[in-house]
Structure 1
Amino acid sequence: MAEKRKFTHAQLIRPDEGIRVHLLHNGLYRSVGAHGHDFVELLYVRSGKAVHRVNDKTFRAGAGDAFVIQAGDTHAFEPITPYFEWIDCMFLPAFVDYDVRSLLSSRKYFSGDGMETDYLMQAMLREYEEKKPAYLTKLRGYMLALLAELGRQIEQRADLYYGSRKKTRLLQEAVEYVHLHHRDKITLDDAAAKLGISRSTLSRLFRSHANDSFAGFVNAYRLERSGRLLRAGDLSVRDAALECGFADGKHFRTLFRRRFGMTPGEFRRAAEDPAEVPGEPGRL
């Protein structure tokens, strides 16, 4: 990732403080282009989702995720939801007695049990904004606790927990993507890009956790929707197919008959007698 801009602590951090904490959102910055800086930056996502790129790695960032950007790193992110909000903490390593270099920028961190990371970031933001007496002392204390909390996640056990949590959340968001875009042409590549992961990762996710291919899941959901529309009787077979993303009527009829054991027309006529209509496909 080519670096476009370079920021210095003299530009953004007051020398008498050594730290700056503020709340940002994509109403202020639609996206943040590739840049670097000579200080450490801690980003904590409060709401929304974005694709975050750090050096040569790409991450999907969501609420509860945290990133440590070391001096000399290059990073950028692009929001993928209408609203994306994060707490940005910029500081000099000398501000706190902790080996910040031990926190890797090649991974992301998360709010653990009890939401301790979330609590500490919110407390730091409040202290910095209010600047009450001894606010820098309190900020050092919060920062030390926060860095220690993130440091614990370097251990293998935290990695395993996060890996499981990440897969569950990714699958939920992939399913939401299908539900929102089932009328459109959905490809594995497009869905993976939107989620900030590789097509192979998304494919394995569906096969291991949904017991289906991505295309198979998309078609199953479309067939479920079309069955509901036909049962309601408000649309023709052709319109129901188009409404659910099936542009090829022959392909739709083939898949429908394979799933329900009857043609769409037969299904619609049988809907007058609910006892004759097969059950709908299950959901995740």
Structure 2
Amino acid sequence: MFQDMSKDFDIKKIRRSNTISESNCEPHVHPFHEIFYLSSGECTSFIDHNIYKFGKGDLVIVPGGCLHKTVYTGKGIHERIVISFRQEITDWIKEQIGAEYLKNCMVPGVINIPEKRRNYVDSLLDKLMFENDTPDILSTAFIKAGLVELLLFIIRCKEYEDNVIKEIDVDNRKIQEVATYIFEHYTENILLEDVADKFDMNKSFLSKRFKTATGFGFKEYIINLRIQNACRLLLETNKSITDIAFECGFNDSNYFGDSFRKIKGISPRKYRKNETF
């Protein structure tokens, strides 16, 4: 599923229970960046090709264009604060400290905020929500300043703090290896039985475990990666739609078109004509 937003910045608080209907989100991708802070509960997120397990006090970075899905685990209520923003709002950081720092800041992953610094992060997020929910003539400036402060804090965590970058979910290490392999070879003819043999796993077990760990069916994940790459080629090159289909791993241009419409809700041709989709 492709998602977009109508403004340059948004922040909201989301509360969910762990019921089946509320505990999972659909796999999706969006052009804007997303940062979310888990204030209660436990989650597993599949971002690009990495599986992360995290809990209270963890901050998740999802750059624009990353395919991802979150599954809420554990008991009780899960509460997170979600910040969405476009790249343009971070131009000031590039001018002050350089584009490389900002690029490293927005690498997908999970940061465990040191406990002694959580009150600071909570206060900063509260200010952002206040300015977003009760805007006046100065709110846009306050929001930009607050977001810059949060991003600078993340950069400092990555540069100077020990053990703040959460490790990939060790309970799903084998599936992690499978997901990475698919991510690196999705343009090829990848079959479930071949991958199962490669990683010395039963085909049925791999299929079920992959779905549980990532939220994607085996074939569904491959198709989503191919469509994600096709979107990039449609916007960045003049290659024909048929050539793009084959380059991304589809052996039938009609199947490519059907798959693209199912995921993006629009044909490849219309997507190319309108970059806002």
Q: TM-score, normalised by structure 2?
A: 0.52
2:109 counterpart of 1:119: no
Residues 54 and 74 in structure 1, CA contact (< 8 A), matched pair in contact too = yes
Amino acid at match of 1:7: Q
Q: Which of 58, 63, 75 is matched with 2:68 structurally?
A: 75
Quote the RMSD (CA, aligned, Å). Answer: 2.6
Distance 1:76 1:46, change over 3 A: same
Per-residue deviation at 1:29? Answer: 4.1
Aligned to 1:60: 53
Per-residue deviation at 1:200? Answer: 7.6
Superposed counterparts of 1:223-234, under 5 Å:
none
Residues 44 and 121 in structure 1, CA contact (< 8 A), matched pair in contact too = no
Q: How many residues of Structure 1 are paired with residues of Structure 2 in the alignment?
A: 160
Q: Which of 11, 33, 37 is matched with 1:21 structurally?
A: 11
Per-residue deviation at 1:32? Answer: 1.2
Q: TM-score, normalised by structure 1?
A: 0.51
Greater relative CO, 1 or 2 (CA 8 Å, sep 6+): 2
Structure with the greater alpha carbon radius of gyration: 1
Superposed counterparts of 1:57-206, under 5 Å:
57-81=50-74, 82-96=76-90, 97-98=92-93, 99=99, 100-112=102-114, 113-115=116-118, 116-155=120-159, 157-158=160-161, 160-162=162-164, 196-198=169-171
Unaligned runs of 5+ in 1: 168-194, 202-284
Per-residue deviation at 1:199? Answer: 6.8
Per-residue deviation at 1:61? Answer: 1.9
Per-residue deviation at 1:133? Answer: 3.4
Residues 158 and 164 in structure 2, CA contact (< 8 A), matched pair in contact too = no
CA distance in 2, matches of 1:70, 1:132: 29
* Partner-residue secondary structure (3-state), 1:7: coil
Per-residue deviation at 1:196? Answer: 4.7
CA distance in 1, matches of 2:173, 2:47: 21
Alignment identity in percent? 14
CA distance in 2, matches of 1:66, 1:140: 19
* Partner-residue secondary structure (3-state), 1:161: coil
Aligned to 1:250: none
Amino acid at match of 2:134: E
Unaligned runs of 5+ in 2: 94-98, 175-277
Aligned to 2:96: none
